[in-house]
Structure 1
Amino acid sequence: MDLMRSLIAVLLLTVSQFVIASTVTDLYRVTLPIGEQRLAPSDLQVSSGLVKVLVKVSGNSSIADDSQIQSQLKAPARTLKQFSYITEEGGGYLVLDFHPEVIDSLVTRTGFKPLGEQRATVLLWFASNASGEKDHLKSNDSFYKALQFAAKSRGLPLQFPILDLTDQIALPPTDIWILKDRQILHASTRYKPDAVIAGRLTKSESEGVSVTGLFINDGINQPLAESGNIDQVANAVINRVADTLFKPIVSYKLSHFQTGVAIQVENISNLSDYVQLIDFLKRLSVVRQVKIERAIGNQITVRLDLDGSEEQLRQAISLEPQLQLLDSLRNQDGSAVMIYRWQG
């Protein structure tokens, strides 16, 4: 049996899942603070949780404005899978778990696709003068905790520097304070993030905070300037970043994207490599269909039908180590050909 026939045959096989880096857990779960425990959550509580879950799953902060979502919010019970109560220091909480298939269907009906668990990771560098002199913000600072809480509500993975001697030398707090973008980027390469937030945090006696910083993404520096209480500032920063990174993927049922983006992959040396490659591509939320075009030696060319843009495809692939981009070309008709090396 030649290679092409072998490849077609293994398409029918069930393949194992990858362990994906930068994955977000509990996408379909939300925790709400409560004043008192009830026998069952109220419709208002379920509706509130439903909105939060839809935002996490879709990446779209304004998804609740959609008319179909508004209709569902009036009768949210069928979306709820189970609930429970927990008591922690500081109060009680209601935990709502929603049916993933129902939530995904709701998101799709609004014209968008769920983003999936694989998300871009954002590295944080902050400096503060709260101690009287400029210093790196410590990982246990209340502002970092507020950022983590806000990021969890948007399904945005955050990354924190170790702040060991290597970090201290590469990026002193004074460089963060005056927003030296080149030094920030250089120090960040150690962590290989998808985007970076860096800034200075000042606190007032009235428990207000102010952030002046940069959001660095795809080589573009976007200024950040927020002030208010800690929760307000943390939410404003995270929402700004999440809205930029989570560009909605339009559902193919409601739009007409070009089809057939060619992906040429080198270093496919056996059937196991091929099976893993196809499985990897199919699991990308932006990919609707994977079609084999040709196999020559150790090189495979597949054609992908997308539910999004070429840039979203590149970003989704870049979040994983399995494929290394070698080149990106365009045919005479303007269609893209992306050339990758399989890393396994």
Structure 2
Amino acid sequence: MQAAVTIPTMKNLSLLKNFAVFLFIGLCGSPIAAAPVADLYEVRVPVPDQSDAAREWALKTGLAKVLIKVTGNSQVLLNPQLDGITAEARRYVTEYGYVGYRDPLATEEAASEAASSREGRAINIRYSGPAIDQLLRRYQLQIWPAERPSLLVWIVVDDPVVGKQFVTSEQFPDAGDALSQLMADRGVPLLRPMFDLSDLQMLSEEQAWAFDQARMAAVAERYGMNSWLILRAYRSAAGQWRGAWLLNVEGDDSLHSLAADSLPKLIAGIVPAAADKLASRYAYVPQDIARELVIQLDNINDFRAYREATEFIESLKPVRALTVDYVDADRVGLRVSVEGEASLLLGMLRRDSRATELVPDQPEQYRFSWRKP
């Protein structure tokens, strides 16, 4: 297996030089308020056994899953530029190991007939992030950065006996497990409602079933979310699950319907389309020519704040290079070279709890106040 080698980039070198601007000394780091998705290049692939053939198949399947997760595009492998790419899967692998696996989409009926239908084995595979990124840039494929906004998700079912009820992991463990795993497979941070008194006062089961968007938006605002998804489902007399789902991404909503053999499989029919929709809003296509933004950071009072802010911005996927333009009291001006649209990087800053956007002092400039969490 080929291990990934980290090579200092130009933006890392320029950032190190910029530390000399400050006379303050600080060694203690601070955690990033909005942590990026940590396992974008890692997947788990179920296998029937530990044979060489099963392992090779899993490495190829895993590469396909990673490409979908990193690009945010479930159709990425239809790109003719990637023809035969999975045949080279081993060159991208850094490590793998066998782990226990439970299939979240297996029905209770199937599990009762054969315990092995749920409990099995999988290969946990990690691929080289730098190698995958290089592949995406070589073919100018869509990149969905790891700094991804969470998606608030409700599921409400209409049961003929108990009526309408919200799906929770306690009452519907299979559905909860399926939602968690499917969202993780696509690298979408999942936020579940707490269903506390405040939630239930703002949005009842009946209102959720009616897709009361004003009330759902109010709950989303409570959680600081601007994207949310709701599924309403019922089981027909013939035993088939039917549902309708509404996805709202920053005010842009879309309504769909579907059917499946089980509630977990109904969820499995939703997640790919929802993830693709989110990625279309937040992903970008790398370009040969980068754009330069001027960003002013206020409230940079010491070296610790400077390092935290600049390291955070420098770590964002669209950033190619970062240099200090000026230092004025507690203000720092940065010139940031970015791939893709400026709105993508600015959106990442706006979603971080430490950055508050201010009115800029000059045109063609963006200004944020930085505060410690």
Paired position in structure 1 for 2:136: 107
Aligned equivalent of 1:251:
286
Q: Secondary structure at the match of 1:314?
A: helix
Alignment correspondent of 1:223 = 255
Distance change >3 Å, CA 87–CA 137, structure 1 → 2 = closer
CA distance, structure 1, for counterparts of residue 124 and residue 307 of structure 2: 39
Structure 1 unaligned spans of 5+? none
Aligned equivalent of 1:282: 314
Query: Which residue in the other structure is 1:132 paired with?
Result: 162
The aligned counterpart of 1:202 is 234
Query: Which of 188, 211, 214 is the equivalent residue of 1:156?
Result: 188
Indicate how the Cα distance of structure 1 residues 19 and 339 shifts in structure 2: closer, same or farther if over 3 A, else same: closer
- Amino acid corresponding to residue 284 of structure 2 in structure 1: I
Partner amino acid for 1:138?
A: T
Counterpart in 2 of 1:339? 367
Pairwise CA RMSD of aligned residues? 2.8
Q: Specify the alignment match of 1:58 in structure 2.
A: 71
How many residues end up aligned between the 2 structures?
A: 332
Pick from 4, 7, 23: which aligns with 2:36?
23
Please list every run of 5 or more consecutive structure 2 residues that lacks an aligned counterpart in the other structure: 1-16, 103-118
Task: State the alpha-carbon separation in 1 of the partners of residues 361 and 248 from structure 2.
Answer: 26
Q: 2:85 aligns with which of 72, 87, 95?
A: 72
Q: Per-residue deviation at 1:32?
A: 1.7
| Same amino acid, percent of matched pairs | 21
Q: What amino acid is the match of 2:368? A: Y
CA-CA distance at 1:275 after TM superposition = 2.0
Aligned mates of 2:187, 2:294 — CA distance in 1: 30
| 1:104 and 1:113 in contact (8 A); partners too | no
Corresponding position of 1:180: 212
In 2, distance between residues paired with 1:42 and 1:92?
11
1:73-127: per-residue Cα shift (whole Å, max 9, x none)?
2232212222222235622222222222222222222214753432110011222
> Do the aligned partners of 1:179 and 1:199 also contact (CA within 8 Å) in 2?
no
Question: Structure 1 residue 20: deviation in Å?
Answer: 5.0
Deviations 1:147-201 (A, max 9, x none): 2222111100111111112211111111101111111111222221241112322
Deviating more after overlay: 62-71 vs 234-243: 62-71
After superposition, the Cα gap between the structure-2 partners of 1:329 and 1:341, relative to the gap in structure 1 and judged at 3 Å, is same
Rounded Cα–Cα distance in structure 1 between residues aligned with 2:55 and 2:81: 21
SS of the residue corresponding to residue 127 of structure 1 reads strand
SS in 2 for 1:129: strand
Match of 1:147 in 2: 179
C-alpha distance in structure 2 between counterparts of 1:113 and 1:15, whole Å? 36
